[in-house]
Amino acid sequence: MKADIKEILFNEVKIEQRVLELGRQISADYQGKDLVLVGILKGGVPFLADLIRAIDLPLEYDLMAVSSYGASTKSSGTVKIIKDLDAGIESRDVIIVEDIVDTGLTLQYLQENLKSRRPNSIKIATMLDKPSQRKMVIHPDYNGFEIPNVFVVGYGLDFAGKYRNLPFIGVLKEEVYS
């Protein structure tokens, strides 16, 4: 599996350090608030798991599954909710926890959908931001790392369901997905 990786962008240590920094920032920003993190399945799970342990506040988390990719390397542009929240978010402070923001189509759809449920606030935490691919105006409030226009896997990110279990974030060799 590692033979399919062209280069490692962020190793385990860098990821852990950045998640701890984000956790401290969120802890400071949400003192005294009714915080719920909404993790986006499947890719956001490792980031969500590490982030909730790095936040020093009472919080809840819930999970949503949405799809805009399928088995492709490019977004289809159509977002589907496959699994919705189990609990309400009305009058709560929500942070959407996502693995990567690229086109912004999924997050724009999610923000609009969740806004209709009347939370106090909605912010975005992402492990990776790929602004060169942005089609919608989306600015993550809590951003792990900005990356160039490369296809990345690991730490929850996949290609056709594989590579999510890599403990680092790396660039997938083009011959693997072309």
CA atoms within 13 A on the CB side of 101: 28
Find the helix or strand (DSSP H, E) in which 123 lies: strand 121-129
Candidate list 50, 99, 102, 158, residue with the active-site label:
102
> Active-site residue 50, yes or no?
no
List, in order, residues 6 or more apart from 33 with CB less than 8 Å away: 57, 93, 120
- What is the rounded CA–CA span in Å between residue 177 and residue 151? 9
Find out whether 51 and 19 touch, Cβ atoms under 8 Å.
Answer: yes
The closest of 125, 134, 124, 177 to 152, measured between CA atoms, is 177
Residues marked active site are found at 102
